[in-house]
Each structure stands twice: as C-alpha cells, then as structure tokens.
Amino acid sequence: MTKYHDNTNCIHSPVHFDDPHGALTAPLYQTSTFQFKDAAQGAARFAGEEAGYIYTRLGNPTTRELEQKLAQLEEMEEAAATATGMGAVSASVLSFLEQGDHLIASSALYGCSFALFSHMLPKWGIEVSFVDMTNEAELYAAVKPNTKMVFAETPINPNMTVIDLAMLGQFAKKHSLISVVDNTFMTPLLQKPKHFGIDIVIHSATKYLNGHGDVVAGAVCGSQEHIELIKLTVLKDIGATISPHDAWLINRGLKTLAVRVERHCQSAQKVAEFLDAHPKVSEVYYPGLPSHPGYKFLGEQMKGAGGVIAFEIDGTLEQGERFINATELCTLAVSLGDPETLIQHPASMTHSPYTKEEREAAGISDGLIRISVGLEDVNDIIADLELAFKQI
C-alpha cells in the first residue's frame, strides 16, 4: 500500500468503500441495527466467527471509516470513536484501572477531566495524584507500587504549558505504566505522541478534527489490544459510542483539517505577537513565542504552536470581564477549533470544577483569558481585540 503524507490522508480513507452507485463520498449508514440473512449468520456474528455488523453501538461502517482514518493519522494500529471527548477520556481510563490502582495526572487539565479524576475515580477506589509534569523529579516521586497509568495533556488546557513527551514516554516505560496523552490542541498533524513512546492518544473530535462547531465527539487511538479492550468493555457496556451522523460529519471535516490547521497556526502567531506587545497585557501563554518555555519543543515534538492562546490582562478581574464583553467579532463561547474565534474565561467557565486553591496550584488565575483563534481575517481579529482593550 502506498504511503501518503498526512495532508493526503486527511482526505482519502485508508480503506476504499465500494458503492454500487459510484458515490465519491462514502454514504452515511444511518441505521441502529443490521439485518442477517438467516439465524446462523446472526449467531456467527455474535460469536465472533464471522465478520460483519450487528448493532451500531458495536460498530457501523461510517464510524469505522472515521476510526481507520484517525488511527492512520496518529500512526496507531487502531482507534475507537466515542460520543464525546469526555467519553474518550473515561474510556481510556476506566478500561484499564480498577479498585486499588493509582493514576498520575497532570496538575492542570481540562476541567471535566480534572473533575472525573478528582471527584469520581476516588469513589470507585482509584487513587489519583496530580503533579507538575514539567518537573521530572516530581513526576518520578509520585510513583507508587500500585501506579498503573499516567495521563497528560500537552499543551495543557488552558495555560498552554508544554510537557516533554519523550521524557513522559521514557518514564512510563521505565515503570511499566500505560501512558495516555490528550492530543486535542495539536491534532495528529502537529504532534504524534506515539513517536515518543505514548501508548494511547485521545482527542475531543468536537474541536479541530470536526472543525465546524456542529458535533460533539471523541476518539481513542492505540494498539489493537488496547482498543479491542476499550470497545468490548467500557464503550459496549457503558455506551459512550458515537452516532453515525456525527462520524460522517467528522469524516467530512477531516478533509479540510490540513488547510484549517495551517491557517489557525498562522493567525494565532500574529495574534500572540500583538498581545505580547500590548501595554495592557501582562503575560501571554503561547508556545510560538520565544519567551514561552514550550518554544523549545517546536520542530521536534511539535510541528506548530497551534491555534489557542491564553493571556493575562494587566488589571482586575472586572476589567477582564469588561474586555471579553466588549469584543464584537470574537464570540464569547467555550470550545476551540471552530471557524469562529472564540473567547472565554477559564476560571469561571471551562475550569470551574476546580476550587480556587486548585486553580492556583494549576496556574489558572482569575484574570486568565483564553482565545481560540478562528479562520477570519487575522487583521479583523486583532482590530476587535484592540477595540476591546480601549474599553479597559
């Protein structure tokens, strides 16, 4: 089989679907169940003796196309599509951890991932330690005899801290831990955690992979063994499986992923440089700036700095709220990776599951603002931000 570049693989599926009508785009299999030609065939499929579809919660041709494409992009053996990004997080954790196990997680995470780890997992007897993963000594000090998994995001939501994946992969292998990395902010086009020894890669497909703000979905990529376990346990029995229609929309969105990511990165760089030079901004968190600690990972770990920027306004929380409310082009909304530029306040929105003390420990201040730079003309985005600065 010919090996193509990522930009090509975003458009072409790894497996060709023959359509009796010659349709260019693979059809949407909007069905909940699949009929058998006879009872023997149904029994054979349930027994695993014959390949084929049974029920969409267990598999669907449209979903399968998405899974194969994402596995190819992440250079993993397999993938499982999920109903939401948090479905991917929970599937990647609950499939492998049980009562008495210990999980090491980054001290800063997406708010709902943090809530799952800090509030839900302890109820089921799973111990969780949150550590600063930029501090290698702190990471190694967190290991216990019952440690089974390490979980991280990079860059970290929302303060854009970059974790050294080579270090994390070596750490996991040394202690025989399952390593899980949330690659949502980078996409497979900018970062491939597998290259650094990471076992499982997850995405909120809601974001860049779909890219149009009209789907919630997730994905888990990994080895054949890991993904089979996820599909046959948590996804099958808890049921956070994606709908065929949402899978079809993401397949469509992936076709423009390469050009969208390139534009997001180019515009975000210009917006970050504008913010960095602005007298009313005290700090900018963006790996594309030489002043950011994550800048050193560009070119090796990351092919680009992404489309998300966090920054601090030199003023009060009330001034920050006034700034957000004064924007006209930027949309006040959570999420990221949409065509629209989105602006939000993490402390009161996406990271509200943290207590104030937990936010401070994770480096999420009350004055932090996050922007997902969209696909509008970058000069219009900058002009809108400048207009808002005049209000404070």
Q: Are 301 and 165 in contact (CB under 8 A)?
A: yes
pLDDT of 345 strictly over 90:
no
pLDDT of residue 286: 98
Tell me how far CA of residue 141 lies from CA of 34, 132, 153, 337, in angstroms.
51, 11, 20, 36
Q: For residue 229, is it within any domain? A: yes
Q: For residue 280, is it within any domain? A: yes
Q: Tell me the mean pLDDT in the region 7-30.
A: 87
Please indicate, yes or no, whether residues 58 and 113 belong to a single structural domain of this protein.
Answer: yes
Q: For residue 235, is it within any domain? A: yes
Side chain identity, residue 341: T
pLDDT of 362 strictly over 70:
no
- Which percentage of the chain shows pLDDT scores above 70? 97
Q: How many domains does the chain have?
A: 2
pLDDT of residue 356: 75
Residue 233's domain comprises: 6-254
**Boundary of a domain, candidates 216, 231, 254:** 254
**Boundary of a domain, candidates 199, 232, 254:** 254
Q: Which residue has the higher pLDDT, 356 or 156?
A: 156
Q: For residue 219, is it within any domain? A: yes
Cis peptide upstream of residue 158 (ω within 30 degrees of 0): yes
pLDDT of residue 34: 96
Q: What DSSP state is assigned to residue 10?
A: T
- Alpha-carbon distance of 203 to 219, in angstroms, equals 5
Please indicate, yes or no, whether residues 269 and 209 belong to a single structural domain of this protein.
Answer: no
Please indicate, yes or no, whether residues 205 and 96 belong to a single structural domain of this protein.
Answer: yes
Please indicate, yes or no, whether residues 93 and 65 belong to a single structural domain of this protein.
Answer: yes
Task: List beta partners, residue 102.
Answer: 127, 147
Side chain identity, residue 155: P
Q: What angle do CA 85, 344, 215 make, to 5 degrees?
A: 30
Both tokens of residue 137?
């000594």
211 contacts: CB under 8 Å, gap ≥ 6: 253, 256, 257, 260, 337, 338, 339
pLDDT of 358 strictly over 90:
no
State the average pLDDT for the chain: 94
Q: What is the CATH number of the domain that holds 306?
A: 3.90.1150.10
47 contacts: CB under 8 Å, gap ≥ 6: none
Q: Tell me the mean pLDDT in the region 44-63.
A: 95
pLDDT of residue 391: 87
Q: Are 316 and 392 in contact (CB under 8 A)?
A: no
For residue 119, count CB atoms less than 10 angstroms from its CB and return exposed for 0-12, middle for 13-18, buried for 19 or more.
exposed
Q: Are 185 and 140 in contact (CB under 8 A)?
A: no
Please indicate, yes or no, whether residues 75 and 31 belong to a single structural domain of this protein.
Answer: yes
Please indicate, yes or no, whether residues 190 and 280 belong to a single structural domain of this protein.
Answer: no
pLDDT tens-digit series, residues 138-168: 999 999 999 999 999 999 988 899 999 999 9
pLDDT of 350 strictly over 70:
no
Q: For residue 1, is it within any domain? A: no
For residue 365, count CB atoms less than 10 angstroms from its CB and return exposed for 0-12, middle for 13-18, buried for 19 or more.
middle
pLDDT of 301 strictly over 90:
yes
Q: Tell me the mean pLDDT in the region 257-263.
A: 98
Please indicate, yes or no, whether residues 196 and 149 belong to a single structural domain of this protein.
Answer: yes
pLDDT of 248 strictly over 80:
yes
pLDDT of 317 strictly over 80:
no
Q: Tell me the mean pLDDT in the region 276-289.
A: 96
What is the distance of C-alpha 347 from the center of its chain? 20
Strands (E) across 277-329 are located at 281-285, 308-313
Residue from 150, 144, 132 nearest 200 by CA: 150
pLDDT of residue 346: 79
**Boundary of a domain, candidates 254, 283, 298:** 254
Q: Are 94 and 240 in contact (CB under 8 A)?
A: no
pLDDT of residue 49: 94
Please indicate, yes or no, whether residues 263 and 374 belong to a single structural domain of this protein.
Answer: yes
pLDDT tens-digit series, residues 74-133: 999 999 999 999 999 999 999 999 999 999 999 889 889 999 999 999 999 999 999 999
- Alpha-carbon distance of 239 to 351, in angstroms, equals 26
Q: For residue 158, is it within any domain? A: yes
Reading phi first (left if > 0) and then psi (alpha if -120 to 50, else beta), residue 46 is in alpha
pLDDT of residue 351: 66
Please indicate, yes or no, whether residues 222 and 262 belong to a single structural domain of this protein.
Answer: no
- Residue 126 phi, psi dihedral angles, 5° rounding: -105, 120
pLDDT of 361 strictly over 80:
no
Q: What is the CATH number of the domain that holds 193?
A: 3.40.640.10
pLDDT of 1 strictly over 70:
no
The region of weakest confidence among 109-123, 164-178, 339-353 is: 339-353
Q: For residue 39, is it within any domain? A: yes
CA dihedral 79, 82, 88, 93 (to 10 degrees): -80
Please indicate, yes or no, whether residues 313 and 247 belong to a single structural domain of this protein.
Answer: no
Please indicate, yes or no, whether residues 181 and 78 belong to a single structural domain of this protein.
Answer: yes
What is the distance of C-alpha 172 from the center of its chain? 20
Q: Which residues are catalytic, by number?
A: 57, 110, 182, 207
pLDDT of 233 strictly over 80:
yes
Q: What DSSP state is assigned to residue 96?
A: T
Q: pTM of the entire structure?
A: 0.94
Please indicate, yes or no, whether residues 40 and 74 belong to a single structural domain of this protein.
Answer: yes
Q: Are 316 and 381 in contact (CB under 8 A)?
A: no
Confidence of residue 367 (pLDDT cuts 50, 70, 90): confident
pLDDT of residue 319: 79
